[in-house]
């Protein structure tokens, strides 16, 4: 599933072709995504100017001169920039055609993504209003993580993957951040000191920032906006490395299932 760095990379890829452009029309070939695409979306967006694009959690937020769009990549969604004459393939579900020329085409083999039109400010949509802290903004601190976690009794990995607490820390980056912070993924979030939460907040920010700088680490079916595979520059410390030596201490990396997700950690370095 594309995670926060992949969403950030996607926005960087489509922004030059979409921001400031006027949507001439939308072509919807498949409405049955995670939530059905509105039957009149084409009419709502035609002629609207894109005034900005940003990210909230794993949502791409497209601000129009009236209303906006929310896009989620789901498990296998991606955008491509194509020539208007390029024929759509089987899983190419919708296009945004603009006065800038190229077509912004959405592909999603598993159809778990979404395209939602908002009449008002898309940033106020109910899909976004319940989301937690943004890990790359100033309000994300160890103190806030500590305060929210004191009354909970779940593993710390489950806690930091809860989007009502902090957004965008998916399975890969949760494992990597906990390794950098030296915290066991099974440790209960209520039994972690504020000092260790400070280290965890810094680690999450560092891991995500580094991944965005590299273009994002991703699963195999993620593709960047320019069509190149997203699975590149892979420098993972623990994720997917069960049985291999830890890069810090050489102890074998362990794996286990936490909240139905594969989790990787070093039992020597993480306590």
* CB of 226 closer than 8 Å to CB of 14: no
* CB of 219 closer than 8 Å to CB of 1: yes
* Alpha-carbon dihedral angle through residues 135, 138, 139, 141, given to the nearest 10 degrees: 70
* CB of 26 closer than 8 Å to CB of 95: yes
Rounded to whole angstroms, the Cα distance separating 8 from 20 reads 18
* CB of 134 closer than 8 Å to CB of 140: yes
Other CB atoms within 10 A of residue 201 CB? 23
Alpha helix (H) ranges present in the chain? 4-18, 41-45, 126-129, 142-149, 156-160, 171-181, 194-214
- Nearest-5° angle of CA 140, CA 125, CA 112? 90
10-to-5, 25, 76 alpha-carbon distances in Å: 9, 21, 13
Catalytic residues: 2-3, 58, 261
CB-based burial of residue 130 (10 Å sphere; 0-12 exposed, 13-18 middle, 19+ buried)?
A: exposed
């Amino acid at each position: 599933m594309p995670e926060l760095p992949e969403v950030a990379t996607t926005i960087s890829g489509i922004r030059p072709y979409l921001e400031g452009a006027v949507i001439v029309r939308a072509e919807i070939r498949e409405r049955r995504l995670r939530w059905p695409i509105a039957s009149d979306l084409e009419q709502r967006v035609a002629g609207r100017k894109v005034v900005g694009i940003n990210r909230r959690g794993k949502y791409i937020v497209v601000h129009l001169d009236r209303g906006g769009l929310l896009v989620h990549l789901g498990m296998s969604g991606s955008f491509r920039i194509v020539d208007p004459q390029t024929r759509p393939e089987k899983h190419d579900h919708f296009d945004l055609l603009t006065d800038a020329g190229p077509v912004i085409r959405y592909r999603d083999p598993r159809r778990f993504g979404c395209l939602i039109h908002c009449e008002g400010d898309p940033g106020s949509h109910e899909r976004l209003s319940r989301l937690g802290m943004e890990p790359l903004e100033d309000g994300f601190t160890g103190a806030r993580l500590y305060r929210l976690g004191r009354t909970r009794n779940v593993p710390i990995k489950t806690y930091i993957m809860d989007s009502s607490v902090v957004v965008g820390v998916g399975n890969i980056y949760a494992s990597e951040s906990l390794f950098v912070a030296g915290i066991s993924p099974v440790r209960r979030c209520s039994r972690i000191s504020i000092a260790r939460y400070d280290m965890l907040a810094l680690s999450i920010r560092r891991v995500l920032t580094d991944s965005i700088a590299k273009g994002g680490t991703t699963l195999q079916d993620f593709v960047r906006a320019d069509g190149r595979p997203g699975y590149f520059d892979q420098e993972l410390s623990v994720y997917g490395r069960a049985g291999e030596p830890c890069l810090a201490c050489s102890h074998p990396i362990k794996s286990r299932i936490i909240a139905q997700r594969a989790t990787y950690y070093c039992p020597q370095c993480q306590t």
